[in-house]
Amino acid sequence: MAIDVFAPAKINLTLHVTGRRADGYHLLDSLVAFAGVGDTVTAEVADHLSLQIDGPMAAGLDAGDDNLVLRAARLLAPGGGAALRLTKRLPVASGIGGGSADATATLRALARLWSLPLPDHARALSLGADVPVCLDGRPARMRGVGEGIEPIAKPLPDAWLVLVNPGVAVSTPAVFAALDRRDNPPMPDRLPDWPDAGSLAAFLATQRNDMEAAAIRLQPVIAVAKEALAAQTGCLIARMSGSGATCFGLFGKAAEAKHAAEALKQDHPGWWVTPAPLLRS
């Protein structure tokens, strides 16, 4: 029996850095959503734990013991056996939670394979700050160091994303180190409802990704990718996700997003570009 679990890209529609704890961990306030594009984790019964990696973004990925997929398996059941395969479609270290999504998909696949409960958020947090929100799997407000997960009250509106990665790696610790401020204002206490993509974009325009400026200083091509997205017909807002380097453009219609993605691929053949629906709930 093989169990396949989809690992969708995590998108930080907003990312406010609101403080820093005494232990050095940064406090965040982020509106997190998911896109209909991602990796896949496949699990099959086996005597020993193993990992095979394939897919268009597999090059350079290490299947050693420190891989998040294997770490997730050991967290769920130390000593458990399974043959795992990660089909990697998302760029690595790109600000869209690929590793965290893969770890979460592994937990889901093995929980079914081994008939075990999923770990709670506190245990999942040991795998990474984005793992609890990925484990929750719904659009949510994420606060603190990733432990505060509040699902939004209503589904997100129908909308599409175009994701663009200009092919550069960005170190999250380096971006945090380059921040000008670490005590920025949070989002409003009460988030509004968004009946359509335009209202969501209007809200996002009043909010921020506080890591964007620092990431651009480290990798100026991020600004080029963001500007290229913003220039596409139908793009309601363009912003960097996470600590970069992936940027997203928000579109109201699938046709606009797909046309924009094709135009960006033609203009920038070395970039990773993909359209994807915004997963509403």
Of the residues 10, 102, 210, 226, only one is catalytic, namely 10
Dist CA 137 CA 2 (whole Å): 22
For 245, which DSSP code?
S
C-alpha 9/C-alpha 242 separation (Å) is 11
- Whether 10 is catalytic: yes
Q: Which residue is it, tokens 């959503």? A: 33
Catalytic one among 88, 130, 210, 226? 130
CB of 107 within 8 A of CB of 72?
yes
Name the one residue in this structure whose structure tokens are 């479609």.
Answer: 89
Q: What is the CA radius of gyration of the chain?
A: 18
The answer to whether 173 and 26 have CB atoms below 8 angstroms apart is: no
Query: Is 130 a residue of the active site?
Result: yes
Cβ–Cβ < 8 Å for 70, 52: no
- Whether 171 and 143 have beta carbons less than 8 Å apart is answered as no
Distance CA 31, CA 132 (A): 14
Residue 260 and residue 232 in contact, taking contact as beta carbons nearer than 8 Å: yes
Residue pair 210/232 in contact by the 8 Å Cβ criterion: no
Catalytic sites, residue numbers: 10, 130
